[in-house]
Amino acid sequence: MAEFKSGFVSLIGRPNVGKSTLLNRMVGEKIAIISNKPQTTRNNVLGIMTEDDIQIVFTDTPGIHAPATKLGEFMVKSAQTAMRDVDAVLFLVEPIDNVGRTEEKIIEDLKKSDCPVILVINKIDKIKREELFSIITKYTEKFDFHAVVPISAQKKDGIDLLRKELYELIPEGPMFYPEDMVTDQPERQLVAETIREKILRNLDKEVPHGIAIEIMKMKDKGKTVEIIANIYCEKMSHKGILIGKNGEMMKKIGQLAREDMEKMLDKKVYLELWVKVKEDWRNRDSLIRNFGYDMNE
Ligand SMILES: Nc1nc2c(ncn2[C@@H]2O[C@H](COP(=O)(O)OP(=O)(O)OP(=O)(O)O)[C@@H](O)[C@H]2O)c(=O)[nH]1
Ligand SMILES: [Mg+2]
C-alpha cells in the first residue's frame, strides 16, 4: 500500500484574484470569506484537506499589494511569510496577457526560495481558450514553474488537474491535523468573518475596508446561540452609512450574517450588532492587535 502523504501549500497572489475561492474549493467547505472587493482576506487562514492517502494544509493569504496602512503592512507580511518553508506555492494570476508589477514582485520573492511553484491562471471562464497560450508564454519566460494550470475556481474547471499536479509535490508524511478538522479558525473568528463578508458585499468604497469586528458575547443556550458583536468603523459618517436609513442596512447585514451562521453552527442564532467608531484604527498598533491582527505572528 502507498505511504500516507502530507504537506503544506500556500496560495499567493494579488488581491481579488480568487485565492479564497480556490481554498474553499480545495477543502470543500466555506472557510474563507469571499467578496468582489480587493483586500478581503486580512490574515493567513489554514484550510485542511484530508483524503484516504493524503492531507494537504493550505494557507490562504491576504493579497499582495502596496500597503497604505499599518494593517496593510501586516497583511502583506503575512503573505510573504507564507511563501517560505512550504512544499509548494500556488501562485494565482488573472487571465491577463501581461505580467503586472505585483506579479513581477512576487516572482522576485519566489526566486529567493527554492520551493516548487505552480502557476495557476484563474478565471479562465472570462477569456477564450486561444488567449491562454500567450499568457502562459509571458509567465514562463519569467520563471521556471513546476507546472502551469489554467482553472476557474468559481466554475470548478481545471481543479482535478491542479490536484494531480499538486499531489506529485507532496512528500510522504504523517497526518498533522485530525481528519475532521478543516480550519484553524475558532468559531468566534468564523462568526466575525461572516459579518465582515456581508459588510464587504453590501457596502462600497472606503467603508468596508475600515471595518473590524469584535465578538463581545457568544453563548450556547441549547437550541439557540446568542451572539453580540461590535462593528468598528473609522468615521462617524461611516457609522451612518452602516446603519442606513431607518437602520435598514444593519438589518440586512444582520439577517444575511445570521442565515450563514445558522448553517455553520446548525442552530438558531440570536444576533445583536452594535456599530462603533474607532478613528484611524488601521494605523494604531494596539487596536490592530486587539482586533486579532498580530504583528508578531
Ligand atoms: N469569473 C470568475 N470570478 C472568480 C473566479 N474565482 C473567484 N472569482 C471572483 O473573484 C472575486 C475575488 O475572489 P476572492 O476569492 O475573494 O479573491 P482573493 O484572492 O481571496 O482576494 P483577497 O482576499 O482580497 O486577496 C470574487 O468576486 C469571486 O467570486 C473565477 O474562476 N471566475
Ligand atoms: Mg481572500
Angstrom distance (rounded) from CA 214 to CA 75: 19
DSSP 26: H
- Domains annotated on the chain, with CATH: 5-168 (3.40.50.300), 187-290 (3.30.300.20)
Q: What is the pLDDT of residue 114?
A: 87
Kindly give the distance from the C-alpha atom of residue 159 to the centroid of ligand 2, in angstroms, as a whole number.
18
Distance of CA 42 to the CA centre of its chain: 7
Q: What is the pTM of this model?
A: 0.96
Residue 63 Cα: closest atom of ligand 1: 25
Residue 36 Cα: closest atom of ligand 1: 27
Q: Which residues of the chain are under the pLDDT cut of 50? A: 297
Task: Pull the grid cell for residue 126.
Answer: 472570462
Q: What is the pLDDT of residue 273?
A: 98
Residue 197: its H or E element: helix 187-202
Angstrom distance (rounded) from CA 254 to CA 1: 51
Residue 22 Cα: closest atom of ligand 1: 15
Angstrom distance (rounded) from CA 21 to CA 33: 8
Q: What is the pLDDT of residue 20?
A: 98
Angstrom distance (rounded) from CA 65 to CA 118: 20
Kindly give the distance from the C-alpha atom of residue 22 to the centroid of ligand 1, in angstroms, as a whole number.
8
Counting ligand 1 atoms within 8 A of each CB, the residue from 10, 12, 16 with the most, and so the one to mutate, is: 16
Count of positions (residues) in the chain:
297
Angstrom distance (rounded) from CA 52 to CA 34: 29
